[in-house]
Amino acid sequence: MMASWNNNRKIKGVLLDISGVLFESGAGVPIDGSVEAVKRLQSAGLPVRFCTNETTMTRNMLTEKLHRLGFSMKDEEIFPPIPAVCKVLQKRNLRPHLLVHPTAALDFEGIDTLNPNCVVLGDATAEFTYHNLNKAFQALMSMEKPILFSLGMGRYYKEEEELVLDVGPFAKALEFAADVKAEIVGKPSETFFSSVLEDMGVSPENAVMVGDDIVSDVGGAQACGMLGIQVRTGKFRPQDESHPKVKPDSFADNLLAAVDLILQASK
Amino acid sequence: MMASWNNNRKIKGVLLDISGVLFESGAGVPIDGSVEAVKRLQSAGLPVRFCTNETTMTRNMLTEKLHRLGFSMKDEEIFPPIPAVCKVLQKRNLRPHLLVHPTAALDFEGIDTLNPNCVVLGDATAEFTYHNLNKAFQALMSMEKPILFSLGMGRYYKEEEELVLDVGPFAKALEFAADVKAEIVGKPSETFFSSVLEDMGVSPENAVMVGDDIVSDVGGAQACGMLGIQVRTGKFRPQDESHPKVKPDSFADNLLAAVDLILQASK
């Protein structure tokens, strides 16, 4: 079935989610047609940026993984939350207490973590122990004005056929315990999307985001004034077609079908 | 300073919090005057019940600890959440997936946990691992209509001079992840307080609760129609004197001072 949409905007830039759009989480192969789809966008001369809330590996490792799967992109075309939060920390003169994945921690190199005055929470997976959560909580309680950053706010994702907790639930736990509201860095934060658009030099009304997370990807992009396409891969569930809050500008069976729509709208 | 209050109700029954009122959490000695205070209430013939959200030991162990510290009470005068939730489980024909402290798990003996159709969350302390939280989350996600019980909703407590996370933050994490609202068993649940009042045969307008937690103890009791006295021991903080939501019927420096007030109002 050929996807179609009711869109009269001219598309000049494309944002793509990675996990669930380019490949299935945990799987070692690309989603059918996704390598070809990205190539078509690039050949058409459309700027493409890759927006992910991935915080379990460094940006370099992620680029290498994508290259191994057959995708072509530069390191700086990939936008994960850690480089973004590092800019915020430096700008606001903040020293983080980190509760993040040990591998991703490498991307914090050069960031001063002595005598912390904020907490940064990533998808720490097995590092989410009672001990480590207590340490992050105690750090917050020791601050006169506690500051908590959450790298995304995902509820869960699929890992080797099991649903596992993402960073969001742990951010909620610390919010409740320390009576603080987390600042989200990553999708669906408007600041995060804006920095990507700025990098492309494209205004939101000429940009489209393609994602598998109806709230974080599609809803987040639409809230910034972009178009949002929901793919039926990754964490997509049939209930998303009648989501109570988010109505995508289009659904597409996969990235390749989404790219068909986008290329039509880019001429 | 002699505490005083503006109360014209006749008190016929007393509910006491345990940790922070009878003894300081983690300490091996009673709070000054608290043994004497309980004795005075008992000598005056006032029914006394001990209401706690403690779920890191069995009720038996808690009774034994209190006896060692010099307090006199019967096992059945102590009301922790586990015996209460067990009644609920049996009444509603529910089989729990348990995420509780290994010691407290003994109080679930005889409860069918095969093929669970609900999740029960207690203060599991070090058992709050990423693995165990994922298991509880997956259990919720596998249920057609997920049911989550939280044994209390405390934010944190003091343990050996450190603030540590209570069950509440973990309940919030699972609520967010599985899109479910936890049913609280224990303070400040009205069902919980009502069962204690019923056991005493005292109506709420003739009962008083003494606690160190302004929201869970004092606010919870007041919401049920009881009087609530806040002691300045345990987790009391000076800010509680101007709490935005809860206004205790009286403050008292400690349980002994609170009992002075209560005995005056029982004649």
Q: Is residue B75 part of a domain?
A: no
> Domain containing B95: what range?
85-185
Is A168 within 8 Å of B177 when comparing Cβ atoms? yes
Nearest beta carbon to residue B174 from set A162, A163, A169: A169
The C-alpha atoms of residue B180 and residue B152 are separated, in whole angstroms, by 16
The distance from CA A88 to its chain's CA centroid, rounded to whole angstroms, is: 17
Nearest beta carbon to residue A163 from set B131, B138, B172: B138
Is B169 within 8 Å of A173 when comparing Cβ atoms? yes
The answer on B175 and B224 residing in a single domain is no
Is A176 within 8 Å of B168 when comparing Cβ atoms? yes
The answer on B172 and B89 residing in a single domain is yes
Q: Per the structure block, which two tokens stand in for A230?
A: 């929901």
By C-alpha distance, which of A113, A126, A130, A133 is closest to A178?
A133
The answer on B195 and B155 residing in a single domain is no
The answer on B138 and B192 residing in a single domain is no
Q: Work out the average pLDDT over B160-171.
A: 93
The answer on B199 and B177 residing in a single domain is no
The answer on B229 and B163 residing in a single domain is no
What percent of chain B lies above the pLDDT cut of 90?
90
The enclosing domain of A141 has a CATH number of: 3.40.50.1000
Is B165 within 8 Å of A131 when comparing Cβ atoms? no
Domain end call among B168, B185, B202? B185
Residue B220 has pLDDT above 80, yes or no: yes
Q: Work out the average pLDDT over B104-126.
A: 95
Sort out which chain B residues have CB atoms less than 8 A from A156's CB and list them: 137, 141, 177
Is B130 within 8 Å of A130 when comparing Cβ atoms? no
The answer on B193 and B168 residing in a single domain is no
**The one-letter amino acid at A166:** D
- CA triple A85-A86-A91, angle to 5 deg: 95
DSSP A241-256: GG-SS---SEEESSHH
- Residue with the bigger pLDDT between B2 and B100: it is B100
Nearest beta carbon to residue A165 from set B137, B166, B179: B137
- Shortest distance between the Cα of A133 and any Cα of chain B, in A, equals 8
Residue B228 has pLDDT above 90, yes or no: yes
Q: Coil, strand, or helix at residue A161? A: coil
CB-defined contacts A:B, below 8 A: 91
Sort out which chain A residues have CB atoms less than 8 A from B175's CB and list them: 172
The answer on B210 and B167 residing in a single domain is no
Looking at residue A161, its pLDDT comes to 80
Is A141 within 8 Å of B163 when comparing Cβ atoms? yes
Residues, chain B, total? 267
Q: Per the structure block, which two tokens stand in for B65?
A: 């600890």
Under 8 Å CB-to-CB from B265, ≥6 apart: which residues?
A: B7, B9, B10, B11, B208
Positions in chain A whose pLDDT score sits under 70: 1-3
The C-alpha atoms of residue B208 and residue B221 are separated, in whole angstroms, by 8
Residue B2 has pLDDT above 70, yes or no: no
Q: Is residue B47 part of a domain?
A: yes
Rounded (10°) CA dihedral B50, B54, B60, B62: -70
Q: Is residue A137 part of a domain?
A: yes
- Shortest distance between the Cα of A138 and any Cα of chain B, in A, equals 7
The C-alpha atoms of residue A126 and residue A48 are separated, in whole angstroms, by 33
ipTM value of the model?
0.89
Looking at residue A5, its pLDDT comes to 81
Q: Per the structure block, which two tokens stand in for B167?
A: 């069950």
Domain end call among B185, B207, B230? B185
The answer on B257 and B197 residing in a single domain is yes
- CA triple B94-B98-B195, angle to 5 deg: 60
- Helix A81-91 to helix A190-200 angle, to the nearest 10 degrees? 100
Sort out which chain B residues have CB atoms less than 8 A from A56's CB and list them: none
* Count of the separate structural domains present in chain A: 1
The answer on B119 and B161 residing in a single domain is yes
Is A162 within 8 Å of B134 when comparing Cβ atoms? yes
Is B172 within 8 Å of A172 when comparing Cβ atoms? yes
Phi, psi (degrees; rounded to nearest 5) at B122: -115, -175
Q: Which of A163, A175, A179, A243 to mutate to test the interface with B (most CBs of B within 10 A)?
A: A163
Q: Is residue A29 part of a domain?
A: no
- Shortest distance between the Cα of B165 and any Cα of chain A, in A, equals 6
Q: Is residue A181 part of a domain?
A: yes
Q: Is residue B80 part of a domain?
A: no
Q: Is residue B65 part of a domain?
A: no
The answer on B219 and B128 residing in a single domain is no
List residues of chain A with CB under 8 Å from any CB of chain B.
Answer: 124-131, 133-134, 137-138, 141, 155-156, 162-166, 168-170, 172-177, 179
Sort out which chain B residues have CB atoms less than 8 A from A101's CB and list them: none
By C-alpha distance, which of B259, B234, B232 is closest to B37?
B259
Looking at residue A108, its pLDDT comes to 96
- What is the DSSP secondary structure assignment for residue A93, as one 8-state letter? T
Nearest beta carbon to residue A165 from set B127, B134, B165: B134
Q: Is residue A20 part of a domain?
A: no
The C-alpha atoms of residue A218 and residue A204 are separated, in whole angstroms, by 13
